Amino acid sequence: MDDKKYTISGSFWAKFLSVVLLCALGAGIVYTGFSYIFLLQCDTDSGVSDYLDSSECVQQMQQLSRDIVSDYTYSGTEYTQANYSLDITSMHYTLYEKQADGSYAKVDTNDQLSASYTNSSTFYFANIKDYGICYYRTEPTDLTEGRIYKVDAAVTKPFTANDGFKANEELFTRLYGNRSGIQVGLPVLGCFFLVILVFLFCAVGHRKNSAEIHRTWVERIPFELMIGFSVLMDMISMSMMQNIADSTSGFFGTAFNTTVYGFILALMLAGLCTLVTLTTLAVRIKSHTFWKSTFVGMLVIQLGKWLSMISLVPRTALIVGGVLLLEVILLSVHEVGMSLFLDAVIGAYLIYCAGETKKIEAAGRQLASGNLDYRIADTSRLSGVYKRHAEDLNSIGDGMKEAVNQQLKSERLKTELITNVSHDIKTPLTSVINYVDLLRKDHTPQQEQQYLEVLDRQSKRLKKLTEDVVEASKASSGNVEAQLIPVNVREILEQSIGEYQDRLSAGKLNVIMSVKGEPLYALADGRLLWRVMSNLLSNLCKYAMPDTRVYLNAERTDDHRISITLKNISCEPLNISEEELMQRFVRGDASRHTEGSGLGLSIAESLTRLMKGTFHITIDGDLFKAEIQLEETAPAVPVNSPTSDSSIDVHFDEHKDTQPEVQPAPSDPEPAKTEEVPPVKPVEPEKEPEPEQTDEVKTPEPQNSAEAEAEDTKPQTSRETAEPTEKPEENKESE
């Protein structure tokens, strides 16, 4: 998924602007909605164009008439005359009381009604004990108790007082002229509100340039608490709106703006709380944590953990016992329907379990028949022990398939190992046998010298191969003891390059060494680290392409380790994987025409592991890269002891059976004596001993080593001495 998709929706300011717009649109919707509701109450949809002709005006006259009857009943005429005069209210009224003979007698009025009042209305009320003043649409005729009153009321223009009727008429006139805009604006505002609300729901949880759903501290609050808080704020908001509505006594025109603003404030308070609850619900759903963030979910999950700690049989017995107890309770309270519903749920669950068992049984049969590629698809739809069992079966299939592949690979490697070892041993051994046979025959002193040189060279090669095999076995089994001390990395690298300078120059290889962040001290064994570098440089001289650069770098990594890397270009295509190249007796050239035993990298890896380091190789086309990582340490404090050197010099002497010697660093005032470690035999570098040069025998080039081996296996004769008439049997086999 492209993370750039969430550039806008993940922006904080986009979400903040969305909330601001929602508040503004919500206020507009409330204001427009109140205006539209007021016009509907005034019957504008029925064609009413004057407030005095609307049902809203009649309803307000009815309410005021009831107040007049109530005040007259409990306070008398003086009170009504003082509080309902025409300079206080614009409604003209006359109050009548029903007499015993059924006629109505006028008891109170603020003006004699005239026949010119076109919108006059008559209202009937009854003062009934225990009920108070009750309104009737028509004259009540079946009352046996209480007094009956009739009120004739009308509102006319011009208004006699600045009261609610006048305010409502002015509000109606203002809104009626904008009724078309109100009717169109309300749905438009509602659509914009819904669009921004949907955008906000989609944007919550995202951050800029990130497709991951991010949760905040709000999502960690149990969802039931969020709902409870939202409901509480909604109740407070409704109480505020009810108090505001009661204060207007139905005359919205007297305080329309105040009423609307009060409603907007109350609704905004409730709306913001509801919005937070809905947005956190969206984040929980998108992050798949809704169930885990509820009290019920946490209780069920915890109960499931407790049940999972119990074995399957006791757990099943516990569940069955609980179901039976619930059945008994339901039947005891005669809840047969609930009992049947519970039985239906249990039956459906058993059918579901039977289906899951069938899937697992089929998978087991497939694996038993040898189909190791069979898998139970989509185990996420399974639950509980069935899901675990299905995943175990899939893992068994993967494990068995991997084991079979490893076994086949192991058999192939064993075959290649035997083939390679046989080839590496047979070639010099055949040469030794042939030349020993020639020494037994007649030969000249010059030929004898040549034969002895070949025998010496091939015997040393056999000895070197045997020692490499023994050393590789010891290194891989951990029988070599490593004395880890602080070692100066630069000195080791410089000494290694110095020892191989002649061979590197002969191969036309230019070594570029770089040491960053000096001083670098690695926790290592100087002898073993020198042997690792010797093996790498020996392989470099054999397999690197001439006239190329070799990069040897050392630096400190971010995790405070010392990294040594060597990179070169191979002269032959590396059609082999890194894993196979690390195997024993495996060379980069499949024809095995170069020198070496194929043990160098394997020995280097084992020795590095003994020093608590890591050894990796990487092949990228013809690029070969080896990397050694060792633990970094501080330089040791010099003391007067042979083992206190902060760095060591390792010198390679080809004339002393290729054994490295540990010598004191040049910075020491007095040379320290070489300390012999009794249980460890000094290891040898991966370097083929060079044969002595004579006039007749020339040192072969690496690319012509196969010709040299062929010459070693062929007897050398002079012109004066005739060749043997019959070659030895061993020589025939070698050819």
Cβ contact 228:37 at 8 Å: no
Q: Are residue 128 and residue 204 in the same domain, yes or no? A: yes
Mean pLDDT, the chain, whole residue set: 76
Q: Judge whether 643 lies within some domain.
A: yes
pLDDT of residue 604: 81
Q: Are residue 455 and residue 506 in the same domain, yes or no? A: no
Residue 689, classed as helix, strand or coil, is coil
DSSP 8-state assignment for residue 570: B
628 confidence band (pLDDT: 50, 70, 90): very high
Cβ contact 578:589 at 8 Å: no
- pLDDT tens digit sequence for 74-99: 888 889 888 898 888 888 899 999 88
| Res 565 pLDDT > 90 | yes
| Res 720 pLDDT > 80 | no
| Res 117 pLDDT > 70 | no
699 confidence band (pLDDT: 50, 70, 90): very low
| Residue 405: Cβ within 10 Å count | 11
- pLDDT tens digit sequence for 437-487: 888 888 888 888 888 888 887 787 777 777 766 666 666 666 677 788 999
Round to whole Å and give the CA distance between 96 and 49. Answer: 32
Round to whole Å and give the CA distance between 514 and 697. Answer: 40
| Res 328 pLDDT > 90 | no
- pLDDT tens digit sequence for 28-52: 888 888 888 888 888 888 888 888 8
Q: Going edge to edge, which strands form the sheet with 561-569?
A: 509-515, 548-556, 561-569, 623-631, 614-620
CB < 8 Å & 24+ apart, contacts of 570-579 = 570/543, 570/544, 570/545, 570/622, 570/623, 570/624, 571/543, 571/544, 571/545, 571/546, 572/543, 573/622, 574/619, 574/621, 574/622, 574/624, 576/619, 577/619, 578/616, 578/617, 578/618, 578/619
| Res 337 pLDDT > 60 | yes
Identify the CATH number of the domain in which residue 583 sits. 3.30.565.10
Q: Tokens 């190789």 map to which residue?
A: 617
Q: Judge whether 719 lies within some domain.
A: yes
Q: Are residue 716 and residue 568 in the same domain, yes or no? A: no
Q: Are residue 616 and residue 727 in the same domain, yes or no? A: no
Domain end marker among 664, 687, 717: 664
Round to whole Å and give the CA distance between 318 and 309. Answer: 13
Q: Are residue 108 and residue 204 in the same domain, yes or no? A: yes
> Greater confidence, 608 or 427?
608
Domain end marker among 368, 398, 413: 368
> Greater confidence, 276 or 680?
276
pLDDT of residue 15: 85
| Res 733 pLDDT > 50 | no
Q: Are residue 420 and residue 504 in the same domain, yes or no? A: no
Q: Judge whether 244 lies within some domain.
A: no
Identify the CATH number of the domain in which residue 468 sits. 1.10.287.130
If you average pLDDT over residues 126-139, what whole number do you get?
Answer: 80
- pLDDT tens digit sequence for 93-113: 999 998 888 888 999 988 766
pLDDT of residue 30: 86
Q: Are residue 355 and residue 406 in the same domain, yes or no? A: no
Q: Are residue 359 and residue 393 in the same domain, yes or no? A: no
Q: What is the CA radius of gyration of the chain?
A: 51
Question: Which one, of 403, 461, 398, 389, lies nearest residue 429 by Cα?
Answer: 461
If you average pLDDT over residues 321-332, what whole number do you get?
Answer: 83
pTM for this prediction: 0.45
Q: How far lies 413's CA from each of 17, 419, 636, 664, in Å?
A: 67, 10, 44, 43
306 confidence band (pLDDT: 50, 70, 90): confident
If you average pLDDT over residues 349-370, what whole number do you get?
Answer: 82
Between 67-71, 301-305, 609-613, 675-679, the lowest mean confidence (pLDDT) is in 675-679
| Res 710 pLDDT > 70 | no
| Res 247 pLDDT > 50 | yes
> Greater confidence, 581 or 360?
360
How many percent of the chain have pLDDT more than 90? 8
Q: Which residues contact 461 (CB under 8 A, 6 or more apart)?
A: 428, 688, 689
User: What's 53-95 look like in SS3?
Assistant: HCHHHHHHHHHHHHHHHHHHHHHCHHHHHHHCCCCCCCEEEEE
Q: Judge whether 608 lies within some domain.
A: yes
Q: Are residue 472 and residue 517 in the same domain, yes or no? A: no
pLDDT of residue 210: 73
Which amino acid is present at 357?
A: T
| Backbone angles phi and psi of 371, in degrees to 5 | -85, 85
Percent helix, percent strand, percent coil in the chain, to nearest 5: 55, 15, 30
Q: Are residue 485 and residue 571 in the same domain, yes or no? A: yes
Round to whole Å and give the CA distance between 583 and 566. Answer: 19
Expressed as residue numbers, the domain containing 346 is: 310-368
Which amino acid is present at 25?
A: L
- pLDDT tens digit sequence for 182-227: 889 899 999 999 999 998 888 888 887 777 888 888 888 898 898 9
Domain end marker among 151, 186, 214: 214
| Backbone angles phi and psi of 142, in degrees to 5 | -110, 15
Between 610-619, 621-630, 687-696, the lowest mean confidence (pLDDT) is in 687-696
Q: Judge whether 242 lies within some domain.
A: no
Number of domains in the chain: 4
Q: Are residue 392 and residue 541 in the same domain, yes or no? A: no
130 confidence band (pLDDT: 50, 70, 90): low
417 confidence band (pLDDT: 50, 70, 90): low
pLDDT of residue 667: 37
Q: Judge whether 102 lies within some domain.
A: yes
State yes or no: cis peptide before 158, omega within 30 of 0.
Answer: yes
Cβ contact 687:535 at 8 Å: no
Tokens describing residue 602: 């394997």
Residue 164, classed as helix, strand or coil, is helix
| Res 551 pLDDT > 90 | yes
Q: Judge whether 439 lies within some domain.
A: yes
Q: Are residue 598 and residue 501 in the same domain, yes or no? A: yes
Which amino acid is present at 425?
A: I
Torsion of CA 397, 403, 404, 408, to 10 degrees: 160
pLDDT of residue 114: 55
Q: Judge whether 129 lies within some domain.
A: yes
> Greater confidence, 613 or 591?
613
pLDDT of residue 118: 67
Which one of 495-504, 581-590, 701-710 scores highest in mean pLDDT?
495-504
